[in-house]
Structure 1
């Protein structure tokens, strides 16, 4: 059978057909421009920069078996001492009981002004990361400021699924990054370019008769690919308020769609949701794990399923039972690793087992509920074009009661009915309906979060101390997390942490956690305090923001090429009444501010008002938009510049009357 290449048109950018000759930088040789580079003018903050990076990926017959081979070569310039961390390299290799990936021809050189220091093979270390992964690591010798670190290796894999693409972006900038591939027509891959950056080179051609397998008379054609990006900016994975970096980092992804064997048999890997729905109905880890109605009817109190006539109250009671029955082991689990009965009996389970138990119990109580597959915020958004089951690492229970939809997660003992933990607020998921077709469902938080501080401050010239009270009210997500914080440590530790978070001079003299006013979504705290060091000779200097919502601006990057994601709406209010110290007059007050952000995206209001005896200060920051595209970043950064400046620099100064 002669295999001719079928060019899969799933990639969204234009492809040109050219022939390609393998070119590159000879290993161990440096260009004059690489030696001369001392700073990177496109990123003055860079501590290191990739000068040149190339990967060649191809299929090869080794010892009678098809193997996926990757040749990798890179040169990194160390610009200053902070860049030394880039001198430690790790390479992960996968294995199972039958086969394993291997690393060959690993070489590394440190270049220092014409002097080459070669990595010794006995300085290369391998260790087990997990049951399926090994890690090979080494550190370049003799690293200095200005060193060029060069290494290469060949990785051989028996897993054709591991041909999964190339990341052009990393934590340091790259001057040149090149990906090459030669793919036999037997293997069809979906592919997509992700991230905000564009390719500088985008070439593809067909090479005839390039792949032979012994025993078959006809060879296969190959697709030859070359993708290049130049002047690639660094991607900072430590940015605040972002979803998983994998959503935004510029890369090209490959996913095996079909394998056309030389013997004429074809195996398709990309399926439709109809195919997945059918598989789930009979799969022991999903379809069967969600049909344990009889087990739960026998193993929970009958009253749990029947005593509440109102369906919503019955659902809440069942939800609370699952929360209290299970202890979450902190694991999400994944496809093929869920055992509901065993987890229920042990009273401990992963997120899949706990929420599957919840779904089973709701169904047993006559409340129709379905499983919703999602990916957590730090695991990336699932693809919507076709099913990729590895995209999902978490499940929720989805139920509809009296015309209202509820998404439920019982892993957290403090999470109220209908609320989802922050990790689950990842925009959308797939509801598995085994009687009908599965469908996408948007994830919308049921509530936001508010932090409110209301207080009084009195300045006593006689004792030279500042006294007052603060009432701190947290609602929504902040209220839930406050309940959790309070129950994880004893009150003494909690108050010590609270004092330290305010200032070294702040001492709590009395404290009340007001249980009568608290709800699962709200906490009330009242504290009495003393504050020293406000009086300075004839002047009193007071920063009225004892509690700071943002001590520093979380948005410091010059620009941001991906969205800001808060997860839920947020509001911060601070209202303080300050009693003027006897014998003193107001010398200086901070300026009022009123800043609107976007089209009702956010609002900042700050004001001070005074009368004969008091000063009333009011601060209100409202963030109405949970997800902001990159074009809004500059305005958001400017807004938070004012937010942090107001909290840190709003001194109220009193002067002693003459």
Structure 2
């Protein structure tokens, strides 16, 4: 996140200063734009923004509300680009959308032809009680068309200044944003994303607004721009697109009235902590430990060992509640009611857990999180709406545990994977709240042991033992607790080309950290037989067959949610009637910056093949500069797990 400096120079202007004059005019399409067949910087683009502009200003003709004039000119390059001609503009309650104009330009007999949007083709739609929208479709769309449209959005809500997106799902040649806002309104302005501004000219304009009967006011002026912005393409292993897409955001910090009174909209964390503690948010719900002490079974709170006591309380709360999948608001949490009804949302359940731990004298704190789909929370100042998840931080004898009792598949010490999003804000009312990195608490492990015997006639039987822990175990528990065993095994057989004779599983209960599966199986060798030879792939369990990273260039970090460890040991005993062909070479590969590694060793001793394969990803996130090494890492993993052992019958 980059903070944009609003004050660079101060200059005087007359009362006739008009920010509206900066708004782009219609009629800018050219023959050169109509002749464009492909965008040379992205030949796959279905359309490209030739120019777009937003211009925000105080509008005297609209009761000195904020008006933003929007202008867009877009080239349609492919049929899929027609959807860019369908426009929908949402607006909130007392906001309005007006001055809508639209034109489609086409090349006809080497000349430019215009088709105007008609007012009868503009529709107003009721979306919800608070939201409406204006929608229209530009006429006469064709491959090669240039569309141009503009509108004005006027809003009385100075605290809801819309973000300006420099980046979207199609590339842009030029994107600009201008604003002139009364200096009474102080905003935190931040540039998000991975691209730099080509234009950044902030200033202050004196006497920019004259309000009859009152006074003249100065304005903050913002003039921002980017050129040649690539399309935002969502890639695998990403968090929320809000963390990556280039845009400028506005958060109203304060308003100063004519008499000098300052009204704060953005608090400090110290002030926000007081609001949580006092009960303005959910502070009163954090003082219900006596209620839980009266209602918890005595055998839970009387345990001498602190860690054991904490685990018993955690699993009691987890078992007591049913998660209702509802969201929550900070001012509508009722832990007593939810405890008695045994049903609750994230806040009900985890604040109950906090109170239960406090009632037993355990050192615990509520922590606020933003889930991965929402995006990273703002760290410079508190934005309460950034946080949509609550967990508990427990401290015992120098060790720390994040706890989440909302999912019955989660063991003590893990929170939902969807909430693994960088940092949590821990509410410590004695020493002040603070940020806590949750990455070190994220891990996943899989350990595989395989024993296979190939008989005289080529029949292959094996015993496979798979132990999952961490988030692998959580996802496996969730799957096995919701699907019938028969359906799971049928899918497993099809995926791994084996026939399962016997299967057992342990660890599906909520308090188990490991899930252990044992498969007794036959391997189908007929499809892999060629004459007297057949080929055996020793990776019987869910091998990585496709490299998930295929891009030539990646612009954004790769985020795996949690670290990963995988180990595979195999012993394959082959009947003496077979000769083992040439084995693949041993391999090792290490990622830079201690990012991870894999080792593959294989050897044949008297027709007994032993394999040791291990890979680990030591970090959750890898930069785009590390992408090529990561891509090659997975290329080598795929090759290793595609290994075929040739067996020739003597």
TM normalised by structure 1 equals: 0.88
> Who is 1:525 aligned against?
517
User: 2:97 & 2:569 partners in 1: Cα distance?
Assistant: 62
Please list, as runs of the form range in 1=range in 2, the aligned pairs for 1:409-558 lying within 5 A after superposition.
409-446=404-441, 448-458=443-453, 462=457, 466-502=460-496, 505-514=497-506, 520-527=512-519, 528-531=521-524, 532-558=526-552
User: 2:6 & 2:293 partners in 1: Cα distance?
Assistant: 55
Residues 1:228 and 2:225 aligned together: yes
> Who is 2:324 aligned against?
329
SS of alignment partner, residue 496 of structure 1 = helix
Match of 1:150 among 145, 148, 151: 148
SS of alignment partner, residue 625 of structure 2 = helix
> Who is 2:560 aligned against?
566
Whether the 8 Å contact between 1:16 and 1:202 is mirrored in structure 2 is: no
CA, structure 1 residues 293+452, in 2 after alignment: closer, same or farther (shift >3 Å)?
Answer: closer
Deviations along 1:309-360, one digit per CA (max 9) or x if unpaired, are 2222222121111111111222442433422223223222221121111112
- Cα displacement (A) at 1:628: 2.4
CA, structure 1 residues 14+500, in 2 after alignment: closer, same or farther (shift >3 Å)?
Answer: farther
SS of alignment partner, residue 239 of structure 2 = coil
SS of alignment partner, residue 381 of structure 1 = coil
User: 2:46 & 2:267 partners in 1: Cα distance?
Assistant: 45
CA, structure 1 residues 222+514, in 2 after alignment: closer, same or farther (shift >3 Å)?
Answer: closer
User: 2:83 & 2:503 partners in 1: Cα distance?
Assistant: 46
Whether the 8 Å contact between 2:477 and 2:508 is mirrored in structure 1 is: no
Residues 1:652 and 2:648 aligned together: no
Match of 1:352 among 333, 344, 347: 347
User: 1:346 & 1:475 partners in 2: Cα distance?
Assistant: 33
CA, structure 1 residues 14+281, in 2 after alignment: closer, same or farther (shift >3 Å)?
Answer: closer
> Who is 1:3 aligned against?
none
Residues 1:278 and 2:274 aligned together: yes
Residues 1:296 and 2:289 aligned together: no
CA, structure 1 residues 334+233, in 2 after alignment: closer, same or farther (shift >3 Å)?
Answer: farther
Deviations along 1:279-328, one digit per CA (max 9) or x if unpaired, are 222225311111122332343334433x3122222221211111111112
- Cα displacement (A) at 1:135: 4.7
- Cα displacement (A) at 1:84: 4.6
Residues 1:55 and 2:54 aligned together: yes
Whether the 8 Å contact between 1:194 and 1:248 is mirrored in structure 2 is: yes
- Cα displacement (A) at 1:409: 1.3
Match of 2:594 among 595, 600, 604: 600
User: 2:239 & 2:567 partners in 1: Cα distance?
Assistant: 26
The range that moved more, 396-405 or 536-545, is: 536-545
Match of 1:163 among 161, 164, 169: 161
> Who is 2:261 aligned against?
265
Whether the 8 Å contact between 2:104 and 2:147 is mirrored in structure 1 is: yes
> Who is 1:33 aligned against?
32
Whether the 8 Å contact between 1:465 and 1:533 is mirrored in structure 2 is: no
Match of 1:193 among 188, 191, 194: 191
User: 1:472 & 1:251 partners in 2: Cα distance?
Assistant: 46
Residues 1:67 and 2:62 aligned together: no
- Cα displacement (A) at 1:118: 4.8
User: 1:247 & 1:51 partners in 2: Cα distance?
Assistant: 25
Whether the 8 Å contact between 2:601 and 2:613 is mirrored in structure 1 is: yes
- Cα displacement (A) at 1:221: 1.6
Deviations along 1:77-135, one digit per CA (max 9) or x if unpaired, are 3333454554444433333xxxx322223344444434555556565566555554445
SS of alignment partner, residue 277 of structure 1 = helix
- Cα displacement (A) at 1:500: 3.8
Unaligned runs of 5+ in 1: 1-8
User: 1:325 & 1:441 partners in 2: Cα distance?
Assistant: 29
The range that moved more, 127-136 or 535-544, is: 127-136
> Who is 1:625 aligned against?
619
User: 1:473 & 1:10 partners in 2: Cα distance?
Assistant: 47
User: 1:13 & 1:260 partners in 2: Cα distance?
Assistant: 17
CA, structure 1 residues 133+369, in 2 after alignment: closer, same or farther (shift >3 Å)?
Answer: farther
SS of alignment partner, residue 319 of structure 1 = helix
- Cα displacement (A) at 1:140: 4.9
The range that moved more, 171-180 or 534-543, is: 534-543
> Who is 1:380 aligned against?
375
Residues 1:246 and 2:242 aligned together: yes
> Who is 1:77 aligned against?
75
Whether the 8 Å contact between 2:6 and 2:203 is mirrored in structure 1 is: no
- Cα displacement (A) at 1:519: 6.8
Whether the 8 Å contact between 1:12 and 1:193 is mirrored in structure 2 is: no
User: 2:62 & 2:55 partners in 1: Cα distance?
Assistant: 21
> Who is 2:181 aligned against?
183
> Who is 2:629 aligned against?
635
SS of alignment partner, residue 468 of structure 2 = strand
- Cα displacement (A) at 1:154: 1.8
Whether the 8 Å contact between 1:258 and 1:266 is mirrored in structure 2 is: yes
Whether the 8 Å contact between 1:480 and 1:520 is mirrored in structure 2 is: no
- Cα displacement (A) at 1:210: 2.1
Whether the 8 Å contact between 2:35 and 2:144 is mirrored in structure 1 is: no
Whether the 8 Å contact between 1:477 and 1:521 is mirrored in structure 2 is: no
User: 2:582 & 2:355 partners in 1: Cα distance?
Assistant: 64
Whether the 8 Å contact between 2:5 and 2:202 is mirrored in structure 1 is: no
Whether the 8 Å contact between 1:15 and 1:202 is mirrored in structure 2 is: no
Unaligned runs of 5+ in 2: 14-18
User: 2:102 & 2:156 partners in 1: Cα distance?
Assistant: 25
User: 1:28 & 1:539 partners in 2: Cα distance?
Assistant: 73
User: 1:599 & 1:233 partners in 2: Cα distance?
Assistant: 29
User: 1:615 & 1:124 partners in 2: Cα distance?
Assistant: 73
TM-align CA RMSD: 3.0
CA, structure 1 residues 118+426, in 2 after alignment: closer, same or farther (shift >3 Å)?
Answer: same
Deviations along 1:446-478, one digit per CA (max 9) or x if unpaired, are 36211233324455674x765433222212211
- Cα displacement (A) at 1:597: 0.8
- Cα displacement (A) at 1:21: 8.9
The range that moved more, 45-54 or 178-187, is: 45-54
- Cα displacement (A) at 1:176: 0.8
User: 2:92 & 2:508 partners in 1: Cα distance?
Assistant: 55
User: 1:110 & 1:512 partners in 2: Cα distance?
Assistant: 65
User: 1:472 & 1:49 partners in 2: Cα distance?
Assistant: 50
Match of 1:614 among 599, 608, 616: 608
> Who is 2:16 aligned against?
none
> Who is 1:287 aligned against?
283
- Cα displacement (A) at 1:596: 1.0
User: 2:641 & 2:537 partners in 1: Cα distance?
Assistant: 8
- Cα displacement (A) at 1:229: 0.3
User: 1:547 & 1:241 partners in 2: Cα distance?
Assistant: 23
